[in-house]
Amino acid sequence: MARVRLKDADKQTLVDLYKASRRTVDDLPYTDEFEVLCTAFIARSGLTMTRHSVWRALASQRKARRLIRKQR
């Protein structure tokens, strides 16, 4: 699977969508909230991405310390 390179604006969109969610990154997979986040991100960015690719992009943003820390 080819890695999708996101523009800075797309990364910020993903971060903003995550901030609006109630769950932590680790709690998101396989939830309806993650499906909403994926759908919104794909619609706003105009990219064609799988759920897995969106998850990897979100995990990359966490690793880069761009996501806020949420309480469990």
Helix axes 32-45, 8-20, angle to 10 degrees: 150
Lookup: tokens for 22: 């109630």
The pTM for the full model equals 0.90
Q: Render pLDDT for 5-26 as a digit per residue (tens, 0 to 9).
A: 899 999 999 999 999 999 999 9
Q: Render pLDDT for 61-70 as a digit per residue (tens, 0 to 9).
A: 999 999 998 8
**DSSP output for the chain:** -PPPPPPHHHHHHHHHHHHHSSS-TTT-TTSHHHHHHHHHHHHHH-----HHHHHHHHHHHHHTT-SPP---
